[in-house]
Amino acid sequence: MEVEFIQIFDQVLSRLGLNDFTIKLNNRKILSGIAEITNEKERLIDITVAIDKLDKIGAEAVLKEMSDKGVSDAAISKIQPLLSLSAASNEELMVWMKDFLKESEIGLAGVSELQTVLDWTAKLGLTKAKLVFDVTLARGLNYYTGAIFEVQANGVKMGSICGGGRYDDLTGLFGKAGLPGVGISFGADRIYDVMQTLDLFPKELISDLDVLFLNFGEREMLYILPITQNVRLAGFNAEIYPDAAKLKKQMKYADDRKVKFVVIAGEEEINTAQITLKNMTDGLQQVISSDRLIDFLKENFS
């Protein structure tokens, strides 16, 4: 199943046009093995939470956090080499980890599971993705029991855009023990931002929006919803910006979608049953009655 999820990550993101992304892979049993051989079983969560921050805070800060949590100096000395393994290949890492965890049964089980995933993925092949074993990948959620996944878009300043893993014991929390579980998720907002940054949206998708209604909050949404519905029923393509983001961000979206008209409806417009229309081609704004919007659009799109 883990191999199939890797294929899903690869195929979906490749079809969306991403040409350079990395699927990071680890196994929770390997992390448990690290805690075991360092005699810090009871501090597994403290160790994993700390090393999961390596990309954000650096190795020195990770080691300090572990020390602050009470991890012994001897354990930290054993863990320290793990923080500088990123340059090695998956094959080299597997050999290294097998030796490092040779005295931990659970750790070796994790290495074996990971090796199986790597071997099967190599047989099936990948379209665009790079598959990388990352021993520092821990993910903050402590219910994972096996494989752990994260996906990053390379060349874009963004956190993980997908994630997941195996959580065989999770159903026990809800009264149904013994059921295996594994799952992944796609971060829609982050994937959208990555695609927008890399200009991956097909031009035919970003040039067919006639009107964008800006979003200033719940009261304003209630005002523009029926207006938007009437505009759509009249045959025009209209959207409401999905949240009350900063005006600059909403206007950038309008530019990116090549919208001809933006509708602005704030407190003043609501109180007077009007809307403000901005022509995105020439920048001119005018205030009209909300019930005249459809006639205005017909005149300007004829």
For 228-261, write each residue's pLDDT tens digit. 999 999 999 999 999 999 999 999 999 888 899 9
Residue 249 and residue 191 in one domain:
no
Lowest mean pLDDT: which of 72-76, 109-113, 115-119? 72-76
Indicate whether 175 and 236 sit together in one domain. no
Binning pLDDT at 50, 70 and 90, where does residue 157 land? confident
Same domain, 159 and 211: no
Q: What pLDDT does residue 302 have?
A: 66
List of residues 6+ apart from 30 with CB closer than 8 A: 97, 101, 107, 110, 111, 114, 135
68-89 tens-digit pLDDT: 989 888 988 888 888 887 767 8
**Residues 218 and 88 both lie in one domain:** no
At residue 199, the pLDDT reads: 87
Give the pLDDT of residue 204: 62
CATH no. for residue 217?
Answer: 3.40.50.800
Question: Averaged over 222-227, what is the pLDDT?
Answer: 93
Residues 30 and 107 in one domain: yes
Task: Report the number of distinct structural domains present in the chain.
Answer: 2
- Which of these three, 197, 225, 248, is where a domain ends? 197
Q: Tell me: do 242 and 134 sit in the same domain.
A: no
% of residues, the chain, pLDDT over 90: 59
The last residue of one of the domains, among 197, 213, 234, is: 197
Average pLDDT over residues 199-208: 71
Overall average pLDDT of the 114-143 stretch: 89
pLDDT score of 51: 85
Same domain, 274 and 191: no
Q: Which of 99, 127, 110 is nearest to 21 (CA)?
A: 127
Same domain, 16 and 79: yes
d(CA 171, CA 130): 32
How does the average pLDDT of the chain come out, rounded? 89
| Separation CA 154–CA 67 (nearest Å) | 32
Whether the Cβ atoms of residue 34 and residue 47 lie closer than 8 Å to each other: yes
- Kindly state whether residues 176 and 49 are assigned to the same domain: yes
The 10s digit of each residue's pLDDT in 18-54 is: 999 999 999 999 999 998 998 988 888 888 888 888 8
Q: pLDDT tier at 205 (50, 70, 90 boundaries)?
A: low
Confidence of residue 98 (pLDDT cuts 50, 70, 90): very high
Residues 245 and 154 in one domain: no
pLDDT band at 121 (very low <50, low <70, confident <90, very high): very high
Task: Give the end of a domain, one of 167, 197, 227.
Answer: 197
pLDDT value of position 206? 57
Contacts of 6 (CB under 8 A, 6+ apart): 23, 25, 117, 121, 126, 129, 131, 149
Residue 140 pLDDT: 61
Asked if the model's pLDDT at residue 58 lies above 60, the reply is yes
pLDDT bucket at 123, cuts 50 / 70 / 90: very high
Confidence check: pLDDT of 16 > 60: yes
SS3 labels along the chain? CHHHHHHHHHHHHHHCCCCCEEEEEEEHHHHHHHHHHCCCHHHHHHHHHHHCCHHHHHHHHHHHHHHHCCCCHHHHHHHHHHHHCCCCCHHHHHHHHHHHCCCCHHHHHHHHHHHHHHHHHHHHCCCCCEEEECCCCCCCCCCCCCEEEEEEECCCCCCCCEEEEECCCHHHHHCCCCCCCEEEEECHHHHHHHHHHCCCCCHHHHCCCCEEECCCCHHHHHHHHHHHHHHHHCCCCEEECCCCCCHHHHHHHHHHCCCCEEEECCHHHHHHCEEEEEECCCCCEEEEEHHHHHHHHHHHHC
Domain that holds residue 241: 203-301
Same-domain status, 150 and 66: yes
CATH number at residue 135: 3.30.930.10
- Do 175 and 291 sit in the same domain of this protein? no
Beta strand pairing call for 162-166 and 182-186: antiparallel
pLDDT at residue 213, rounded to an integer:
95
Give the pLDDT of residue 179.
79
